[in-house]
Amino acid sequence: MRESAALAGATPVAAAPVTATAVAATAAGPYAVPQELVSLLARRAVAGPRAGSFLSHTPMTGAELARLPLSTQADVEAAVAQARVAQRGWARWSIERRARVFLRLHDLVLHRQVQLLDLIQLESGKARLHAFEEVADVALVARHYARASAAYLRPTRTTGAFPVLTRAETVLHPHGVVGIVSPWNYPLTLPLGDSIPALMAGNAVVLRPDPATSLTALFGAQLLAEAGLPEGVLQVVLGPGATIGQAVLELADDLCYTGSTEVGRRVAVTAAQRLVPVSLELGGKNTAYVRADADLRRSVPGVLRAAFSSGGQLCIHAERLVLHESIADDFLARFVPAVAAMRIGPALEFGWDMGSLLNQRQLDRVRSHVDDAVAKGARVLVGGRARPDLGPFFHEPTVLDGVTAEMACRDEETFGPVLSVYRVSSDEEAVALANDTAYGLNASIWTRDIPAGRSLARLIHAGTVNVNEGYAAAWGTTGAPMGGMGQSGLGRRHGAEGIRKYTESQTIAAQHVVPFAPFWGLDDRGFAAVVTGAFRVFKRMGLS
């Protein structure tokens, strides 16, 4: 029997808790969301009384999932205005008081995880274990920033120009309203994971989730309200990126975008024209390198997870598998059967290895990359086919051999369950291949010699590199920064950088006893001589 709980039965009041009664066992069928829940969550969206609406669909069957209100430009303007008002009161809360909201969110996310898992799967199509990664991630991020923000944001003192006589302090101020435009592939992690540090820093947030996965984001907003976030501090607007997302980017004081490199460039232009800060996490062409000394019992299942988690619709998943030639045949002899044995299907329960792609566009891109590679001489070692018998957008996990530079999948991001195999004769050759891309988001190295793996990691041009793990070790270390180099983006999430990016620094310097000018009867020449002598003393003292 499936373990999914119901999401219906909630009283449609602003921050009333959502109660559990079944999502999948409704009269609408096994892949449906109760209308009571849709109505409750729709109230979390900013939309006028005459707002239009749009339909979302579940990738599992292609059937209608929910009808939600469609925000307008005027709604975005209203959301930003309301957020500005609410932010002023929120910024006056102490960090400790804000932290209590996110510690409650941590507990709510874990307590309501079955409901969240259902929504994430129904909207994104991913397997339940991969949906759980999102639940775990949001809990980690909420707890981390609740505990660490006081240290990250506290005022700092700096040695002044004249020690003792000049006392300088740097304080951090919230920017105001942070505009977050998030994609569909991680419908809980990205909307909430980026909102949490922005809110903890004292900002308000206007969030535009992808239309395909708006229900999950709205459920997250509902949980934040239940956790005690004041009304108006988080505003959610719904609609296409080209209109509603762009409106958010044109009005907010600080911008956060996750998505394709192509769109990220346009977001950067908008930020540059407005002279507002922006952080971008964009595409990737990530490498998993299996060294000659790797433990194949560990690396085979590890690379499988690295390549096919969330159906490959994960910016930090592996699309290139680089094998040292001495172990390549042995690795593939184990890996190919493991891929062939993966359980794929539309199941709202644990025990399945991969779910569906999001939509026809994603399926078409995967098909075009596979077909192009095969037409130009690549071999399909396993997979290679769409699976309409399972659902409209399913595609088998696929491993290609013999991929060359003429093939699209060699350098372009596939963003699907397609892994290309390459053989190398040395670590140096592996590093060169890993760096032979415009992207620089993530990589993994599989080896028994962890110090050697760490040394190699420093040579790879990527924001995160994992040793003996595909992506979760770096991503899950929420105290360390995560982000891209090259065409993979700007800025970082997680750690100190992940919250300080949502602030503006201000230096306050006070001068004591004497001015920073001629004093006590010194003329200009005498003042210059005194300062010169003082600077020489400061150097000998080791002062910065």
Q: What is the pLDDT of residues 331-374, one digit of tens each?
A: 999 999 999 999 999 999 999 999 999 999 999 999 999 999 99
Q: Is the pLDDT of residue 19 over 60?
A: no
Instruction: Encode pLDDT of 445-459 as tens digits.
Output: 999 999 999 999 999
State the DSSP code for 94. Answer: -
State whether 128 and 151 are in the same domain: yes
Q: Please, what is the Cα angle at 495 between 85 and 212, to 5 degrees? A: 60
pLDDT at 250: 98
Tell me: the pLDDT tens digits for 171-209?
Answer: 999 999 999 999 999 999 999 999 999 999 999 999 999
Residue 22: the pLDDT is 43
pLDDT digits (tens, 9 = 90+) for 101-125: 999 999 999 999 999 999 999 999 9
Confidence of residue 25 (pLDDT cuts 50, 70, 90): very low
The answer to whether position 408 is within a domain reads yes
The tens digit of pLDDT for each residue in 293-310 reads 999 999 999 999 999 999
- Note whether 211 and 351 are same-domain residues: no
- Is 293 found in the same domain as 442? yes
Answer yes or no: do 266 and 311 share one domain.
no
Q: What pLDDT is stored for residue 50 in this prediction?
A: 78
Q: Which of 134, 226, 315, 396 is catalytic?
A: 315
Do 214 and 350 have their domain in common?
Answer: no
Q: Is the pLDDT of residue 511 over 70?
A: yes
In a domain, 418, yes or no: yes
CATH number, domain with residue 144: 3.40.605.10
Confidence band (pLDDT; 50, 70, 90) for 411?
very high
User: Who has greater pLDDT, 26 or 60?
Assistant: 60
Together in a domain, 173 and 195 = yes
Instruction: Let me know whether 76 and 202 are in one domain.
Output: yes
Q: Which two tokens stand for residue 185?
A: 């592939």
If you average pLDDT over residues 265-269, what whole number do you get?
98
Asked if 496 and 152 touch (Cβ cutoff 8 Å), the reply is: yes
Q: How many of the other CB atoms lie within 10 Å of CB of 291?
A: 22
**pLDDT value at 321 more than 70:** yes
* 309: DSSP letter: G
Tell me the per-residue pLDDT of 462-473, one tens digit each, with 9 for 90 and over: 999 999 999 999
Domain count, the chain: 3
Q: Can you say how many angstroms the Cα of residue 207 is from the centroid of all Cα atoms in its chain?
A: 14
Task: Report yes or no on 128 lying in a domain.
Answer: yes
The CA distance from 486 to 286, in Å, is: 13
Res 544: pLDDT: 84
Q: What is the pLDDT of residue 13?
A: 30
CA angle 248, 251, 252 (to 5 degrees): 80
Strand 177-181 vs strand 254-258: parallel, antiparallel, or unpaired?
parallel
Whose structure tokens read 């219906």? 8
Residues 4-17 have pLDDT tens digits of 433 332 222 335 56
pLDDT computed for residue 159 by the predictor: 87
* Residue that terminates a domain, selected from 281, 311, 331: 281
Q: Are strands 398-401 and 278-281 parallel, antiparallel or unpaired?
A: unpaired
Q: Out of 133, 250, 281, 396, which one is annotated catalytic?
A: 281
Q: What is the pLDDT of residues 68-92, one digit of tens each?
A: 999 999 999 999 999 999 999 999 9
- Distance (Å, rounded) from C-alpha 219 to C-alpha 368? 35
Q: What is the CA radius of gyration of the chain?
A: 26
Tell me, yes or no, if 133 is annotated catalytic. no
The answer to the question of residue 378 being in a domain is yes
The pLDDT value given to residue 15: 55
| 2 inside domain | no
* Same-domain status, 201 and 275: yes
Q: What is the predicted pLDDT for the residue at 1? A: 33
Residue 529 lies in domain? 518-544
Residue 193 lies in a domain: yes
Question: With left for phi above 0 and alpha for psi between -120 and 50, is residue 229 left, alpha or beta?
Answer: beta
Is the distance from CB of 177 to CB of 204 less than 8 angstroms? yes
Determine contact, residues 516/311, Cβ cutoff 8 Å.
Answer: no
Which pLDDT tens digit goes with each residue over 488-503? 999 999 999 999 999 9
Q: Which residue has the higher pLDDT, 62 or 13?
A: 62
User: Is 256 annotated as catalytic?
Assistant: no
Secondary structure (DSSP) of 339-404: HHT--BS--SSSS-SB---SSHHHHHHHHHHHHHHHHTT-EEEE---B-TTT-TT-B--EEEES--
Q: Are residues 433 and 523 in the same domain?
A: no
281, 306, 323 — which closes off a domain? 281
pLDDT tens-place string over residues 386-410:
999 999 999 999 999 999 999 999 9
Other C-beta atoms lying within 10 Å of the C-beta of residue 299 = 27
Are 292 and 421 found together in one domain? yes
User: In this structure, are 328 and 375 located in the same domain?
Assistant: yes
Average pLDDT of the chain?
94
- Establish if 22 belongs to a structural domain: no
Domain end among 281, 296, 318: 281
59 domain-assigned: yes
Say if residue 236 is in the same domain as residue 383.
no
Q: Which residue has the higher pLDDT, 236 or 51?
A: 236
With a pLDDT cut of 70, the percent of the chain lying above it is 94
pLDDT at position 51, please? 79
| Mean pLDDT confidence for 238-253 | 98
Tokens of 188: 């809980």
CATH number at residue 322: 3.40.309.10
